[in-house]
Copies of this chain bind each other. A is one copy, B any other.
């Protein structure tokens, strides 16, 4: 799935990129449902706008800075509040141009101390959204709408997350929440409730007030103790940026005011790694399947055993009918055992086995990733396999 390029830098192999692309498609679908408009900003940014916002210094060692051939200072943007203010400035003039929700799927650079593989890397992809408002109530409504959309997204992806009230720290603003996923060997300690998603972590709030097994203070359920990692963070930024950067709108009464902002980030590779960690077993990955579908790199693996003609022909037919761009057809010299192991290692939801059973009965043996088996006629297989596609039911 991934290959190291040195401390904190990762590349994705074809199989890893397949999974990432399915996740990105779903992220775009979710953003489209909440009327987000996709944009694309540069990652390199000149110093001036960061001076204006007051953040050039505040990222300290975590921001990569450099100079161009003419000696001008630039940074590799660790987040894009400044850029988004610049993008909408001049395009948004009046209260009735608002609210606006823009997002991008963009590379972020942070000179963080690498740890936990993809979790703290120096370069990563973020799906970051930014909203602009003429009133507190509009900001609050969009904040809640995106919060709910992100929680649905995590459900669709089969990810367990808790919501932790958080500090705004370097982002600024008035309110923020983190989406924190319980995993083994995470970077934070978490107490959370599986029923209502209440969470408290050692990074934000008073973890020591709670133990695993305690009653949930929100719903009375039972708290679980776990290590965890952050997969998303949403902020009511208020006028933190617009005030300093001069982004105002005219109101109905003829006065003008600083625009209110929210920002909403999800770490893409982090999310991939977290889903993988929550579901892996001793045979390898095991990408979850929900009513939405699955981000597994392939929806099925076809394993023909032996080389008689009907096996080969049926394998080709299944390949064509199950979605050839999304199905792995094993060929080459390797043994059936090696193919089974590779399919399980990659977390492919089902193996379509054409072996003795097929030769005797004409039925395909389906071995699901959880070890269950079933049999179906070659004609019935495509429909069965379609539920493992990404986004079949629209997310």
- A residues near B (Cβ < 8 Å) are 3, 5-7, 9-14, 16-18, 20-21, 32, 37-46, 48, 61-62, 64-66, 68-69, 72, 76, 83, 86-87, 91, 102, 104, 107, 109, 111, 113, 122-123, 325
Counted per complex, copies of this chain come to 2
CB <8 Å contact, B46 and A5:
yes
CB <8 Å contact, A12 and B32:
no
Asked if A87 meets B13 with Cβ closer than 8 Å, knowing A6-B46, A46-B5, A111-B69, the reply is yes
Q: Which residues of B contact A91 (CB under 8 A)?
A: 13
Identity of the chain B residue whose Cβ is nearest the Cβ of A38 in the assembled complex: B17
CB <8 Å contact, B69 and A66:
no
CB <8 Å contact, A42 and B87:
no
Pick the residue among B9, B61, B102, B113 that contacts A42 (CB under 8 A): B9
Pick the residue among B5, B21, B42, B46 that contacts A11 (CB under 8 A): B42
Q: Is the interface of A mostly helix, strand, loop or mixed?
A: mixed
Provide the bound-state CA to CA distance between A7 and B71, in Å.
13
Identity of the chain B residue whose Cβ is nearest the Cβ of A121 in the assembled complex: B42
Q: Which residues of B contact A32 (CB under 8 A)?
A: 325
Provide the bound-state CA to CA distance between A271 and B44, in Å.
21
Pick the residue among B9, B14, B18, B45 that contacts A46 (CB under 8 A): B9
Query: What would be 18 A-B contacts, judged by CB atoms less than 8 Å apart?
Result: A3-B86, A5-B41, A6-B45, A6-B48, A9-B42, A13-B39, A17-B39, A17-B40, A18-B38, A20-B40, A32-B325, A43-B43, A44-B64, A44-B109, A44-B123, A65-B66, A66-B66, A76-B76
CB <8 Å contact, B40 and A122:
no
Asked if A45 meets B9 with Cβ closer than 8 Å, knowing A61-B69, A86-B3, A111-B68, the reply is yes
Pick the residue among B3, B122, B325 that contacts A44 (CB under 8 A): B122
Identity of the chain B residue whose Cβ is nearest the Cβ of A333 in the assembled complex: B96
CB <8 Å contact, A43 and B107:
yes
With A9-B44, A17-B37, A43-B43 already in contact, 20 other A-B pairs whose C-beta atoms are closer than 8 Å: A5-B41, A5-B45, A6-B45, A9-B45, A11-B40, A11-B42, A11-B87, A12-B40, A13-B39, A14-B38, A14-B102, A17-B38, A17-B39, A20-B40, A32-B325, A42-B123, A43-B123, A44-B109, A64-B66, A68-B122
Pick the residue among B16, B42, B111 that contacts A5 (CB under 8 A): B42
Identity of the chain B residue whose Cβ is nearest the Cβ of A124 in the assembled complex: B42
Provide the bound-state CA to CA distance between A46 and B10, in Å.
12
Provide the bound-state CA to CA distance between A367 and B12, in Å.
46
Q: Which residues of B contact A122 (CB under 8 A)?
A: 42, 44, 68
For the complex of A and B, list the 3 residue pairs with the smallest distance between their C-beta atoms, beginning with the closest. Answer: A14-B37, A12-B40, A66-B66
